[in-house]
Structure 1
Amino acid sequence: MLLPSPSRAALRAARAALVGASCGVLALALPACGKNKKEATTAEASDADKVPGPDPGLCDLIGKRVALFDLNRDGAPDAWKVYTRGEEAETRVEFLSCKQVDFDHDGRKDYVVEFDAKGAKTFERFDFDFDGRFDAAFTFDEQSGMPAKVERDSDFDGRYDLVEAYDERGEIESVERDRNADGNADLWEQYIRGRLVAILYDDDYDEQVDRREEVEYRDDDVWPEDELPGDADADAGDDDDDDDGE
């Protein structure tokens, strides 16, 4: 006995019922079911915007790959590594070019370091008191990898007031200080081979040296023959005497 074939209207009704049931079962897994695609995409993008990312003002992120790390396992990233693509011996390579870390998990970066293609540090910044402002910045020499300049905010007011300069050996050469926080250096320390030899002062803060103090050393202190304290002044004095005799 042959059963009658279902009508087209009956097939359409069954198909509609099946689709409706599927949407009901998969509603949690498929947010687009029951709402349009645009609304679902907007919701997903909004959730992605809430994930903390690296600060583009602290290192170059254009065209770079970023890896996220959750140090305290609270579900939000607090360390970011930025990788740069390049070529070496006709081979494509990728190297770590920047790292940012939020140590106190407040959403602000407390440490930033940049690297060159060889993995050497080029720049480094620290926020020691976690107030959202960097308190020290290190610039490294490209050849030696040693610090070439260090800027410090000694009073934590958001402005660097102390600048240290280093030679290629990593020994300190000079220090500039801003004692009255006007943005200008008013005390200068001079060093030879890491030893302090003189301090210059701008006592009235007019950007002019008002006095100089020499640092005295014992006679048995050993100095390089070509870098004895006061040699520069002595040479200058000899030149003046020669000019007077002509």
Structure 2
Amino acid sequence: MSETGRAVQSGEPILELTDVTAHYGRIQALKGISLKAWPGEIVTIIGANGAGKSTTLMTICGVVRASSGDVRFDGQSIRDVSSDRLPPMGLCQVPEGRRIFPRLSVAENLDMGAFFRRDQEDIRRDKDMIYDLFPVLRERRRQPGGTLSGGEQQMLAIGRALMSRPRLLLLDEPSLGLAPLVVKQIFSIVKRINEENRTTILLVEQNANLALQLATRGYVLETGSVVLEDDAAALLGNPQIRKAYLGE
């Protein structure tokens, strides 16, 4: 394990999935998923389309109910906790496809991320922090979210999640449909969020090369099962991974 991995993996994991299964009707999507993330890590889940990556995130958030197994956040089981109760606990997801509020302004979208908070002065400071991270959002703060470009909407979705002050941030396909330069910018900001705020990040990403360059550790999913777990650098150098997921 790398020095970074040893430094991060101290104490109890902030997130732990143990033998989690999940179904869509009679179709079993997850077949005993077990994974961990320690405070301050970036952990990535890679795999082909349909492997169960997004389902894993949705099961963590309670959007898809686990059929068996357990999901623990900060030492507490959240398997039966409704998704709307998770942001106040410190867990927030940026879903695939952004899902911002298109008719609300940029500023109003950010306010929605802090809907459960009452510390108005801190909310204002956090919004300024988001604008510093994403200067284009400051320029567009009065525009409806639906008028933004795809990259700007992704920035807004991340900013909205950060307004909840998450200790664990789930990112589902943040590069989807974006130009390479925009993807590079967003991944740079994700790294900054992790380093400056010590926010733990669980990243699902189709671009396995970028994800493994960013992450501390990674899990490889195939048809609803974890088939490999290792340091991200080791996975990046694994010939089988390079052939299957990096196009080599």
With the shorter chain as reference, the TM-score category is under 0.3
TM-score, scaled to structure 2? 0.21
Higher relative contact order by CA 8 Å / sep ≥ 6: 1 or 2?
2
TM-score, scaled to structure 1? 0.21
Greater per-residue helix proportion: 2
Greater per-residue strand proportion: 1
